[in-house]
Structure 1
Amino acid sequence: MPETASPKETVKAFLSALEALDIEQALTYVASDVVYQNVPLPPARGIAAFEKQMRMMQKYGSGFEVKVHHIAEDGPIVLTERTDVLESGPWRAGFWVCGTFEVRDGRIVLWRDYFDWATVIAASAKGGFRALVSTVSKRLKPQPDRP
């Protein structure tokens, strides 16, 4: 990002890198002392802890999508209201998230997400059910005879 990028532009570019599962690129947008937290879980503090969590997402997920509904910037603070969609193979779960980002010197120093755990669990269960139905349907579908 150019040093003249606004905090909102930095956050949007960061989320785009995560959507592409380009962790190397995403890391260029965060500060060495970044704090990342999915409330109420404990925060990951520092670039090493943050990178570890992002690499787990990359390892176990096959897709990540961000649908930003609203984004607001107030000085170094960027607030997002969005739907995040996680994918792992045929499993797919989307849920509503509010995020707070703080950007200092062109880098994200804080990323804190708030969401309703019941919604995440329900979306995960729906995603699991759809994945199961899809897998079973494919296996039960008659295959054409091969010569």
Structure 2
Amino acid sequence: MARASKQIVLEFLEAMERSDYAAALHLVSSDCDYINPPPFGAVKGPAGIRAVLEPFFAPVLENRFELKRVADAGDLVFVERLDRHRLHDKWVELPVTGVFEVKAGLITYWRDYFDVATIMSEWPPLA
């Protein structure tokens, strides 16, 4: 029996919360579009996603994704969440809304909406 799109997205977010890139990206199609607000922009596929996220989250000691609302309609899944990231000296919180599209059991589209200034004002300088 095929898993529902919502279940796949929630499994993906659980893996990302654990920083388990291998498990998370196993749920992403090879041509998945991942889009963030500028200056982060868009990348394609698991390698592109990992190239953006792994270095950005390198200083994170622990993640907590508090899901506020989850709505799905067929292949589309919307997730309003509060992303909490523990750095060495503090927690950083970022309200995020993610839009996902799932086809044939894989995430083919992922777009996160958030205020870049909110995260960058709290984040350590990027290398």
| Fold-level similarity (TM above 0.5) | yes
CA drift of 1:121 comes to 4.3
Report what 1:12 is aligned to.
Answer: 10
CA drift of 1:38 comes to 1.3
Report what 2:29 is aligned to.
Answer: 31
Q: TM-score, normalised by structure 2?
A: 0.85
Higher relative contact order, structure no. (Cα contacts within 8 Å, ≥ 6 residues apart) = 2
CA distance in 2, matches of 1:56, 1:117: 17
Q: Higher strand share goes to which structure?
A: 2
Report what 1:99 is aligned to.
Answer: 98
Q: Which runs of 5+ in 1 are unaligned?
A: 129-147
Query: Does the residue aligned with 2:2 lie in a helix, a strand or coil?
Result: coil
| Paired AA for residue 61 in structure 1 | V
Cα contact 2:37–2:116 (8 A) shared by 1: no
CA distance in 1, matches of 2:64, 2:36: 17
Q: Which runs of 5+ in 2 are unaligned?
A: none
CA drift of 1:51 comes to 1.9
Find the structure with the greater CA-based Rg. Answer: 1
Structure 1 runs of 4+ aligned residues shifted over 6 Å read none
CA distance in 1, matches of 2:35, 2:90: 24
CA distance in 2, matches of 1:118, 1:56: 19
Q: TM-score, normalised by structure 1?
A: 0.75
Superposition map of 1:102-141 within 5 A: 102-121=101-120, 124=122
Identity across the alignment (%): 31
1:67-118: CA deviations, max 9, x gaps?
Answer: 0000000110100111011222223201211110011111111110111234
CA RMSD of aligned residues (A): 1.9
| Paired AA for residue 73 in structure 1 | D
Query: Does the residue aligned with 1:8 lie in a helix, a strand or coil?
Result: helix
CA distance in 2, matches of 1:99, 1:52: 19
Cα contact 1:39–1:113 (8 A) shared by 2: yes
CA drift of 1:53 comes to 2.0
Figure out how many residues of one structure are paired with residues of the other and give that number: 123
1:83 is aligned to 2:82: yes
Q: Residues 48 and 18 (structure 1 numbering): CA distance in 2 closer, same or farther, change over 3 Å?
A: same
CA drift of 1:57 comes to 4.1
